[in-house]
Structure 1
Amino acid sequence: MSWLQDRVAGVLAGAAVGDALGGATEGWTPEQIEERHGGRVTGVVGPFLPDWRTARPIAPYHKGDGHVTDDTLMTHALVEVYGTRRSHLTAHHMASDLVPLMIGERRWVPELEDEALILQRVFLAEKWLVAKLHYGHADPRESGVGNIVNCGATMYMAPVGLVNLGDPAAAYAEAIDLAGAHQSSYGREAAGVFAAAVAAACAPGASVADVLTASRALAKDGTAAAIEAVLTAAEQFRAAGGSDDPRELNRMLRAAVAPYDTVGETYRAPAMDARLPSRTKSIEELPVALGLVAAHEGDLRAAVLDAVNYGRDSDSIATMAGAICGGLAGQAAVPAEWLTEVTHASKLDLDAVVASMTETVRVVAADDARRAQERAGLLEAVLGATA
């Protein structure tokens, strides 16, 4: 496996295993998770609700047992769009390419245990894409305005980081454009910063410090403040030498991000102003994921497991932490037993997804290099020109 393919595999495998492990604990408190599983979760576990088909009729999903969620379904759909276009993408490709995949092609959906449309699995904030772009014919560059502000666009932006490998600013800009079709406000902002974090992680010789520097440099408004607060808490945790209590880090990170999170303490009963646009607020998932990466110095297993045991939107937190850590260290960072269980249980052909994404990155990188040379020549001519 080439270095490039290894980094692509690390990102996509890390994201998938984080998603699958975190899906089993999504929406619950740390205390409920430990009570249900007889202690902290340390790997793939079964569904929180054994009667999952009827327990929550609005979302009858078989979470757990190694099943990936909509985070991975949407990530792989975006990989398909990149594979078709073999170029950078814009918000218009969300309408012309991504939405048709969501509503026109059946595929195996692990949580439904059946072939279905992606549309039939994603939740309301993602169904918005279809309503606005396919039925409403909205301008893709601004169709995210009015949607529930959440992490829905952020959770599948890892491919944007990969096609902009080593250029966090370019990844941020491309993700901000794409996410405008889906989200607004801090939901859109987080998508840009997550893509930038993946781009920074995948640069040759990159470190956790490089990821954090890029994230801090590019984040705006409440997202920037939340990231700073969480990273300060992570630094304090490390400076203290950690803790004998495995729950302490998550408590510190939750306390740090809470002032910026609109959902409130009761995750399944959001506050009245939850998920509304704001310049002072942030989604919870990305800052916490960055905090876990920082506190565990890029250790994928440790960061993902803390994300899983954090509860709340644990699958998306673990997806983001897994992708960043996988970008830093490659596929070897992903526990082989997790990857085997998840790809088997979810019927994922991850090798094919990785191969497609790797080829896309090669083609786009070659085009970028050619354009950079042309631009450099033009600038030399301009700077050397005389009146």
Structure 2
Amino acid sequence: MSGLAIGDALGRPVEGMSAQKIRENYGSVQDFLLLSPGGSDDTEYALLTASAILEYGLDITADQFADFWKEKVCTQTAAFLGAGFSEMSAIDNLRRGLAPPQSGQHTHAWSDGLAMRVAPIGIVAAGNLPLAISMTTADGSVSHSGEGIWSGLAVAAAISVAMNGGSAQESFAGALQSVPQDSWTYRALVKVQKVIAEGEGKTTPDLVDLLLHDVAVEDYYYADLAPEAVSLALAAVLYGAGDFVKTLLFAVNLGRDADTIAAMAGAVGGALVGYEAIPDSWRRAIVSVKGSCLEFAAGLNPVEVAEQLVALKESK
């Protein structure tokens, strides 16, 4: 959760920029660009999933996730600042009385909105891929279907393996084995794995460009395509090889859906190294959220919530 919040804060100022534009404006992003860094919808939706799990436990069902959304999210009257199309479509479907999986069946169901919020599942399902898969599928069916869920499985699985002491390579392998082979997500993961494996001797900008060439859909209007964003985030995990800072900076400088890519890479990277390995100067971004997207989350702190999730896991 800490790594997710840091990645969200690092990437938020360059969200929507191309890698080339980032280079033109900043050379490369090496630290927070804002004096008061903080997260966005990525962190708050992860706190939504975490709060639902803490409410219902590890055997939480899709209907219970939906009930939590209806209680905490669908009742909100203020604007959902920064919310994605997939989440807004799901909220609309839930308000109209649809239930999972129908609530997650809409025209933006392939977004990275599930993958960005599954870090809590990886924590409570540490070392238990079947549990990570079942919980992610339950959560995902509220707002996503198809590639949107499969990409979420990849991130949850990677965190599950990392939380159990796995390496970056092992976490990536866990992601790959949790995704249907006949899927866009799987093919994108295989592509980025090949680029990183063959990348020795290449400069970081060259690697970034190769990855974007292979998996980015640059002629589509939005950069929140889950197979693209998740494969790029996990490419950053492979590139970082257990170095949290290296992982996060690579992820941010990919551009595109930079806050979400960095949030997912940070979630896995943080699980690999643990809280104490995160630089002190970056921990200042882990603050209680404002509830700017999800009002119910105002005041929740990612570190405190992560500790509650660990306690829940250890109590079982």
Alpha-carbon shift at residue 359 of structure 1 (Å) = 2.2
Q: Retained in 2: the 8 A contact 1:200–1:210?
A: yes
Asked if 1:350 corresponds to 2:312, the answer is no
Alpha-carbon shift at residue 28 of structure 1 (Å) = 0.5
**1:89-143 deviation digits (Å, cap 9, x = unpaired):** 22112221133222447xxxxxxxxxx958344232211222111x221121332
Instruction: Name the counterpart of 2:32.
Output: 44
Q: Retained in 1: the 8 A contact 2:6–2:39?
A: yes
Instruction: Name the counterpart of 2:293.
Output: none
Which amino acid is 1:132 matched to?
Answer: N
TM-score, structure 1 as length reference = 0.73
- Candidates 180, 183, 186, aligned match of 1:224: 186
1:117-156 equivalences under 5 Å are: 119-133=80-94, 135-148=95-108, 149-156=110-117
Higher mean displacement: 343-352 or 15-24: 343-352
1:164-183 equivalences under 5 Å are: 164-183=125-144
Identical residues among aligned pairs (%): 26
Alpha-carbon shift at residue 350 of structure 1 (Å) = 3.4
Which amino acid is 1:167 matched to?
Answer: N
- Unpaired runs of 5+ residues, structure 2, are 291-298
Asked if 1:194 corresponds to 2:155, the answer is yes
Asked if 1:20 corresponds to 2:9, the answer is yes
Instruction: Name the counterpart of 2:296.
Output: none
Secondary structure at the aligned position of 1:44 is classed as coil
Distance 1:231 1:176, change over 3 A: same
Aligned residues: 305
Alpha-carbon shift at residue 270 of structure 1 (Å) = 4.9
RMSD: 2.4
- Candidates 42, 46, 57, aligned match of 1:75: 46
Secondary structure at the aligned position of 1:27 is classed as coil
Work out the CA distance in 2 between the residues paired with 1:223 and 1:344.
33
Distance 1:117 1:88, change over 3 A: farther
Alpha-carbon shift at residue 299 of structure 1 (Å) = 1.4
Work out the CA distance in 2 between the residues paired with 1:344 and 1:145.
32
Secondary structure at the aligned position of 1:283 is classed as helix
- Candidates 68, 82, 90, aligned match of 1:97: 68
Q: Retained in 2: the 8 A contact 1:78–1:98?
A: no
Distance 1:253 1:191, change over 3 A: same
1:331-342 equivalences under 5 Å are: 331-342=275-286
Distance 1:99 1:42, change over 3 A: farther
TM-score, structure 2 as length reference = 0.88
Work out the CA distance in 1 between the residues paired with 2:210 and 2:113.
25
Higher mean displacement: 314-323 or 169-178: 169-178
Higher mean displacement: 119-128 or 92-101: 119-128
- Unpaired runs of 5+ residues, structure 1, are 1-11, 47-63, 106-115, 259-263, 276-281, 367-387
1:1-387 equivalences under 5 Å are: 12-37=1-26, 39-46=27-34, 65-104=36-75, 119-133=80-94, 135-148=95-108, 149-203=110-164, 205-220=165-180, 221-237=183-199, 240=200, 242-243=201-202, 245-258=203-216, 264-266=217-219, 269-270=221-222, 283-343=227-287, 349-363=301-315, 366=316
Distance 1:345 1:152, change over 3 A: closer
Which amino acid is 2:137 matched to?
Answer: I
Which amino acid is 2:260 matched to?
Answer: S
Distance 1:289 1:136, change over 3 A: same
Work out the CA distance in 1 between the residues paired with 2:141 and 2:311.
26
Work out the CA distance in 1 between the residues paired with 2:87 and 2:300.
22
Work out the CA distance in 2 between the residues paired with 1:99 and 1:118.
16
Structure number, greater radius of gyration: 1
Which amino acid is 2:248 matched to?
Answer: V
Higher mean displacement: 214-223 or 352-361: 352-361
Alpha-carbon shift at residue 247 of structure 1 (Å) = 0.9
Q: Retained in 2: the 8 A contact 1:81–1:97?
A: yes
Secondary structure at the aligned position of 1:284 is classed as helix
